[in-house]
A and B are shown apart, each in its own frame.
Chain A
Amino acid sequence: MGGLDSSSMETDLDRPNIEEYLTTETIREVPKKLHLSDLLDISPTLTEAAGAIVDDSFTRCFKSNSPEPWNWNIYLFPLWCLGVVVRYGILFPARVGVLALGWIVFFAAFLPVHFLIRGHDKWRRKIERKLVEMMCSVFVASWTGVIKYHGPRPSRRPQQVFVANHTSMIDFIILEQMTAFAVIMQKHPGWVGFIQKTILESVGCIWFNRTESKDREVVATKIREHTQGVDNNPLLIFPEGTCVNNHYTVMFKKGAFELGCAVCPVAIKYNKIFVDAFWNSKKQSFTTHLAQLMTSWAVVCDVWYLEPQYIRPGEIPIEFAERVRDMISVRAGLKKVPWDGYLKYFRPSPKLTERKQQIFAESVLKRLEEK
């Protein structure tokens, strides 16, 4: 029976059992003798490929459905036009004004505090925290955010991380206005990058770069250090690693779940009634995304702070991550898909193809034995 490798343990530890989600094409109960027709019959594999072309669970996660137009009617259309005038002519300038004022006040307070108050670090950080929270509230007001928070508010303690599902960068702003988190973010270019470097550093944010391979270890060390520190802001991680359209969750990266500390799940669900808050980073820049939010009536959203979870004895980090993802998905009404969010940027690992090859090979060999 030579030539059949046993499935490597490394594959099992790396990801949850994909077979639970994907069907195997050979479900034959009793192995029968192998005929030419069986060998030539590649129809299950072909059909799987065609099925993937027609519709696949990964692309669905990043699809934003254009909203149904409700203004198709003779009396609804003028109403809609009036709405456009109000939104673009009155609300948008007012919001931009509020935002600008907010920035001015923020910088007027932040810059002196950041550069002048030396020595009283504890006070300085407290004031900076409050200022960041205030700035985020201004942001939320600038899109008329109607946010309902459920559950106990996060408390500042060491040895805890917060994890949440990710739809847009505004997730961070929404959570930040309630509690000053230190967040892990992808390094961005432009004005966002500037803000990242100057202001968010003060809250203790950690940067990573998806495209750098050695980056992961560096970030992992920084995370570990942060959670040990007593006076640090609670750490917020988005384990999906990318923005998803708020109807699905992709697989959580295990980094946040192997720190040996409490994991507090946070579920965020946006109501698409006025605007779809999903930021499709391939289709729009963050500025365009913000402008879209600021020219709509409101951003409605629910945030649930769920019970802190600890890794159970005998549970590996990947299972822990899946368990927490379950909790968040159920709470926010999202469907789970077994794909890694990074597949948006990279090709799938050849191990997945090998797994399929192994299943087919096993069935062929088994049937070969039959007389």
Chain B
Amino acid sequence: MGNTSSMLTQYDIEEVQEHCNHAFSQQEIVSLYHRFCQLDRNSSGFITGDEFLSVPEFAVNPLSQRLLRMLDGLNFKEFVAFLSAFSPRISLQQKIECDHYVFIFPIFFFFILPLFAVEHHILFWVVLFKVYDFNSNGKVTFDDILSVLRDLTGSFISEQQRQEVITRVLEEAGYRRDSSLVLSDFMRILGSSQLKMEVEVPID
């Protein structure tokens, strides 16, 4: 492995911790640094798409190409920020913000509270939305959803069936085929689901 935590100073660790809103403990950040160095084989300071794909478990994931668009060329700070979307720890600061909203704007109680559903880290929604929003225009259309479903199901469902499925569930949820969804729509639709989104960082 070669790289020890002596390459990472206390100041660096704190800076990274700030950047990810304290989603990880300092020990976890050191652990992630070891992992980053392990993946970044040519020590270029960032992990290339190829280096990510050398992890077989990642390469066989049907969404790997979409995630690579977000991951390619990230330096360590950004890498940790990305992974903080999957951290089970929500920062105290964001919790306070949530309570703050509830007191000051009771009218928006019904809208804001589901948005800041306490269990789900805001960044997770952003990542999830960005997987769908391929051209990054802030809107997810029927074609975007179709594209993701294609990646997830491959040749095991016909294209026609995929379109049928999506049309049906969209209509049932009150949308039309030419509707487009934004981030807050996603949060509302998925807000009450049991989303599985926590990843544990092993500490060496």
- Please give the distance in Å from A236's CB to the nearest CB on chain B: 28
Of B9-17, B58-66, B97-105, B108-116, the stretch lying at the interface with chain A is B58-66
* B156 adjacent to A42 (CB under 8 Å): no
Residues of A within 8 A of B166 (CB): 39
A55 touching B202 in the complex, CB below 8 Å, given contacts A4-B156, A35-B172, A353-B154: yes
Count A-side interface residues using an 8 Å CB cutoff: 53
Q: A195 at the A/B interface (Cβ < 8 Å)?
A: no
Residues of A within 8 A of B186 (CB): 40
> Restricting to A348-371, which residues have a CB under 8 Å from any CB of B?
348, 352-354, 356-358, 360-362, 364-365, 368
Q: A46 at the A/B interface (Cβ < 8 Å)?
A: yes
Q: B35 at the A/B interface (Cβ < 8 Å)?
A: yes
Q: B153 at the A/B interface (Cβ < 8 Å)?
A: yes
> Restricting to B1-59, which residues have a CB under 8 Å from any CB of A?
1-2, 4, 32, 35, 38-39, 41, 52-53, 55-59
Q: B182 at the A/B interface (Cβ < 8 Å)?
A: no
Q: A47 at the A/B interface (Cβ < 8 Å)?
A: yes
**What is the CA–CA distance of A155 and B200 in the complex, to the nearest angstrom?**
50
Residues of B within 8 A of A34 (CB): 165, 168-169
- Residues of A contacting B: mostly: helix
A54 touching B156 in the complex, CB below 8 Å, given contacts A41-B193, A44-B196, A343-B56: no
* A63 adjacent to B1 (CB under 8 Å): yes
Nearest opposing residue in chain B for A49, CB measure: B61
Residues of B within 8 A of A36 (CB): 169-170, 172-173, 175, 189
Q: A48 at the A/B interface (Cβ < 8 Å)?
A: yes
Count B-side interface residues using an 8 Å CB cutoff: 63
- Please give the distance in Å from B188's CB to the nearest CB on chain A: 10
Residues of B within 8 A of A64 (CB): 1
A50 touching B83 in the complex, CB below 8 Å, given contacts A45-B61, A348-B60: yes
Partner of B32, one of A40, A45, A54, A356: A54
Contacts between chains A and B (CB distance < 8 A), count: 168
> Restricting to B68-127, which residues have a CB under 8 Å from any CB of A?
71, 83, 85-86, 124, 127
Nearest opposing residue in chain A for B63, CB measure: A45
Q: A198 at the A/B interface (Cβ < 8 Å)?
A: no
Residues of A within 8 A of B158 (CB): 2-3
Nearest opposing residue in chain A for B64, CB measure: A49
Q: B135 at the A/B interface (Cβ < 8 Å)?
A: no
Among A36, A49, A343, max chain B CB count under 10 A is at A49
Q: B161 at the A/B interface (Cβ < 8 Å)?
A: yes
- Please give the distance in Å from B156's CB to the nearest CB on chain A: 4
* B53 adjacent to A347 (CB under 8 Å): yes
Residues of B within 8 A of A302 (CB): none
**What is the CA–CA distance of A223 and B166 in the complex, to the nearest angstrom?**
55
**What is the CA–CA distance of A66 and B204 in the complex, to the nearest angstrom?**
11
A59 touching B55 in the complex, CB below 8 Å, given contacts A3-B161, A54-B201: yes
Residues of B within 8 A of A282 (CB): 41
A339 touching B169 in the complex, CB below 8 Å, given contacts A36-B189, A45-B61, A360-B153: no
Q: A58 at the A/B interface (Cβ < 8 Å)?
A: yes
Among B63, B196, B200, max chain A CB count under 10 A is at B196
Q: B148 at the A/B interface (Cβ < 8 Å)?
A: yes
> Restricting to A3-57, which residues have a CB under 8 Å from any CB of B?
3-5, 25, 34-57
With A3-B156, A43-B128 known, 10 other A-B pairs at CB within 8 A are A3-B158, A34-B169, A35-B172, A37-B190, A42-B131, A59-B39, A59-B55, A63-B38, A66-B2, A357-B154
Task: Offer 6 A-B interface pairs, CB within 8 angstroms, sorted by A.
Answer: A35-B169, A46-B67, A46-B128, A50-B86, A52-B57, A348-B56
The 6 A-B pairs at the shortest CB distance, nearest first, are namely A357-B154, A361-B156, A52-B57, A3-B158, A361-B153, A36-B173
Q: Which A residues are closer than 8 A to B by beta carbons?
A: 2-5, 25, 34-59, 63-66, 282-283, 339, 343, 347-348, 352-354, 356-358, 360-362, 364-365, 368
